[in-house]
Amino acid sequence: MLKLYRPVRLLGLGIAALSISLVASASPDAGRAPWESWDRETVGRAYNNSAAVPESAAMFQAWIERSKAFRAAHADHLDLVYGPRDRDRIDYFSAGKDSPVLVFIHGGFWQMRSKDDFAFLAESFLAQGISVAMVGYPLAPDATMDEIVADAHRAIGYLATELPRLGGDPRRVVVSGWSSGAHLATMVLDEPALRAGVVISGIYDLRPLLNSYVNDKLKMDATMAERNSPQFHLPKRSKPLEVFVGGSELAEMQRQTRDYVAARQAAGLRPHFQEISGANHYTILNDMTAPDGQIHRAILNLLR
């Protein structure tokens, strides 16, 4: 019988369905998943968040404008260099000496977007005395998934060294990420500098993407996809991890989260899962910025 350590609502699954999900999540070879019989077009539709939310283009443009203004107003520590690649940069927004630090890794299917586009997320945390580090990383096709993950680790290592100089409290650092950034945040959770993680609308099994437009630039083979899938590389012990997904997201995005949470539960890693009711892949970030949002409160609690 599955033991739930904190209240977890697994998207309406019954006990029998949950048991099947747990078995399927145990290893890459345990059973045949529905996506394995899908053609390229079907997989593409299942993961095309932008097409599922037509207004997302306008939302992104608004985020970019807000982020430009925020970066201009907080320009003391922009584009800190942590590695040799052009995108190996961090924007650090300081809330003052000895402040806790939220590290955020942006999304964009590992091939789009920039840390610059998401600076707006820092505003509400800065107002509450929390410093924010926005991590940039190399994008495909200029970097492989192995290299992208390696640079995410490099970014956390840089912060571990530099936070005392920047004024952050190195004992209180939480990593967060959204979409593909949630995948990267999960991959670096074992970094010693991190206290905990908060992942939002992530992809934790990369194999379904192999037969999709997402992989045209990533060029992953099955071996690379498997070794960079957090679902199949669960540690024996884990720091606290809060896992969120929107109740109005694509079914595959919800399944990715549900299966990852089930795998961690089966391994005794005690994740806390929460579905944000009515949120799609983009509006879920409103819950991160709103002071009364569940994601926002979860981050604050982890940083106390």
Per residue in 120-165, pLDDT tens?
999 999 999 999 999 999 999 999 999 999 999 999 999 999 999 9
Measure the CA–CA gap between 293 and 279, rounded to whole angstroms.
12
Intervals of the chain under pLDDT 70: 1-31
Predicted structure pTM score: 0.90
Q: How many CA atoms lie within 13 A of 260 on its CB side?
A: 32
Q: What is the CATH number of the domain that holds 71?
A: 3.40.50.1820
The reply to whether 9 falls in a domain is no
Whether 7 maps to a domain, the answer reads no
Cα dihedral value 218, 223, 229, 232, nearest 10: 170
Cβ–Cβ under 8 Å, residues 110 and 140 = yes
pLDDT of residue 11: 35
d(CA 246, CA 229): 21
In a domain, 4, yes or no: no
Residue 195 is part of which domain span?
15-24+31-303
Find out whether 166 and 160 touch, Cβ atoms under 8 Å: no
Q: What is the pLDDT, as a whole number, of residue 23?
A: 35
In whole angstroms, what is the distance from residue 33 CA to residue 21 CA?
10
Q: Which residues pair with 91 in a beta bridge?
A: 134
Q: Is residue 5 part of a domain?
A: no
Q: How many domains does the chain have?
A: 1
**pLDDT at residue number 32:** 76
- Contact yes or no for 246/281 (Cβ under 8 A): yes
Task: Classify residue 3: in a domain, yes or no.
Answer: no
- For the chain, how are helix, strand and coil distributed in percent, rounded to 5? 45, 15, 40
Residue 194 lies in a domain: yes
